[in-house]
């Protein structure tokens, strides 16, 4: 059966087929699609897809198609320090990794199991360990809102709060994306993470918040002084990100011209990206036709207003052109 991720990518490719397909846009489009696919289910499956009030801490399998998860990694993800200690005494290899390069520390950190993390480091596992794309234990702890683990990793183990992945994603981006305001506040105010950090596509934290549709996090970022109007290297604003996921509330707030409670985005953010795609185009690509029509109306309204406010364009003789 075709996955949701595959169907979404085909829809994006179909709708964008008429526009420029340079290498950077293709990479960015894939990155956006991948990000959309992991709001509830990460590619490493470090958290359950639909957690119940008492979620199972250990997935039944590792990466898709990789078979059962290694027993040591399973114990780490569950925070079962006794089982992990027994495995170590029996000769289990502390350096064991899953197919994505995640070791036991990354699994334990993603689950918020501080004592298990401490045991692993005490046994000799490098706290600076990275998976293949350079995500660290701090990325997973921040992503899942594990504040105590974040503190320990930075204050005791010495991890850098702005350590980037290969695509430039920092722990703050993931914490914002998942709406963990307490972790975000600690990262910025105590760990001194860079609020204005961008990934290699030029996205700052506001675009991660918009992708998740979190007005709460957009407000927090604005209050902290982040520029919500930034355009990434492909010309995408936070509005583009919110639109492609059908985030009505976030789109509305971002466009609200209210100094006390509004994003203040306008004509530039409603404009086309490098491939000619406006927020309305992105909404249509995502299958959100009503949102697309609403955004189209605003785009037209802003364009008319801008043309009315702009001075008449002079011709080559210096005379004004009217009409």
* Spans of all domains in the chain: 72-200, 203-309
Using CA atoms, how far residue 6 sits from 3, 103, 185, 240, 250, in Å, is: 5, 28, 35, 21, 26
Residues in contact with 171: Cβ distance below 8 Å, sequence separation at least 6, in sequence order:
136, 138, 139, 141, 142, 143, 150, 161, 162, 163, 187, 193
Q: 203-309: same fold as 72-200?
A: yes
Closest CA to 176 of 215, 202, 149: 215
CATH number (3.90.420.10, 1.25.40.20, 3.30.720.110, 3.90.120.10) of 203-309 reads 1.25.40.20
pLDDT on residue 29:
54
- The CA-based diameter of the chain, rounded to the nearest angstrom, is 89
pLDDT on residue 300:
84
pLDDT on residue 259:
84
Spatial distance between the Cα atoms of 265 and 230, rounded to a whole number of angstroms: 10
Half-sphere exposure of 204 (CA within 13 A, CB side): 18
Spatial distance between the Cα atoms of 198 and 68, rounded to a whole number of angstroms: 36
3-state per-residue secondary structure call for 235-250? CCCHHHHHHHCCCHHH
Query: Could you count the other beta carbons within 10 Å of the beta carbon of residue 20?
Result: 11
pTM of the predicted model, to two decimals? Answer: 0.77
CATH number (3.40.710.10, 3.30.160.100, 1.25.40.20, 3.40.50.150) of 72-200 reads 1.25.40.20
Residues in contact with 242: Cβ distance below 8 Å, sequence separation at least 6, in sequence order:
210, 211, 213, 250, 251, 254, 279
Spatial distance between the Cα atoms of 204 and 165, rounded to a whole number of angstroms: 14
Q: Vertex 240, ends 213 and 184: CA angle to 5°?
A: 40
C-alpha torsion angle, residues 22, 25, 26, 28 (rounded to 10): 160
Instruction: Per residue of the chain (323 residues), give pLDDT as tens.
Output: 555 556 555 554 554 444 344 444 555 555 555 544 433 333 333 333 333 333 333 333 444 445 689 999 999 999 999 999 999 999 999 999 999 999 999 999 999 999 999 999 999 999 999 999 999 999 999 999 999 999 999 999 999 999 999 999 999 999 999 999 999 999 999 999 999 999 999 999 999 999 999 999 999 999 999 999 999 999 999 999 999 999 999 999 999 998 889 999 999 999 999 999 999 999 999 999 999 999 999 988 866 554 444 444 444 444 333 33
145 contacts 176 by C-beta, under 8 angstroms:
no
Residue 120: enclosing H or E segment and its boundaries? helix 114-122
């Amino acid at each position: 059966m075709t996955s949701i991720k595959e169907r979404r990518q085909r829809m994006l490719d179909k709708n964008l087929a008429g526009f420029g397909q340079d290498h950077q846009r293709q990479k960015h489009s894939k990155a956006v699609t991948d990000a959309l696919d992991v709001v509830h289910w990460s590619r490493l499956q470090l958290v359950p897809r639909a957690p119940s009030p008492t979620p199972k801490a250990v997935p039944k399998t590792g990466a898709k198609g990789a078979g059962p998860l290694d027993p040591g990694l399973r114990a780490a993800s569950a925070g079962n320090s006794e089982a992990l200690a027994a495995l170590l005494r029996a000769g289990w290899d502390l350096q064991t990794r899953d197919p994505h390069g995640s070791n036991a520390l990354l699994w334990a950190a993603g689950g918020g199991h501080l004592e298990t993390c401490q045991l692993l480091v005490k046994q000799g596992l490098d706290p600076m360990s990275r998976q293949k794309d350079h995500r660290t234990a701090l990325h997973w702890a921040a992503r899942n809102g594990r504040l105590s683990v974040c503190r320990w990793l930075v204050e005791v183990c010495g991890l850098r709060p702005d350590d980037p992945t290969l695509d430039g994603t920092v722990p703050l981006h993931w914490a914002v994306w998942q709406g963990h305001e307490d972790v975000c506040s600690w990262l910025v105010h105590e760990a001194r993470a860079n609020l204005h950090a961008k990934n290699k596509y030029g996205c700052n934290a506001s675009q991660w918040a918009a992708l998740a549709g979190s007005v709460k996090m957009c407000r927090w970022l604005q209050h902290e002084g982040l520029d919500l109007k930034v355009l990434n290297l492909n010309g995408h604003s936070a509005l583009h990100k919110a639109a492609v996921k059908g985030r009505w509330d976030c789109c509305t707030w971002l466009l609200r011209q209210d100094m006390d409670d509004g994003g203040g985005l306008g004509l530039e953010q409603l404009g086309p990206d490098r491939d000619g795609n406006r927020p309305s185009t992105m909404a249509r690509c995502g299958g959100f036709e009503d949102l697309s029509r609403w955004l189209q109306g605003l785009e037209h309204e802003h364009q008319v207003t801008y043309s009315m406010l702009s001075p008449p364009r002079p011709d080559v003789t210096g005379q004004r052109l009217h009409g």
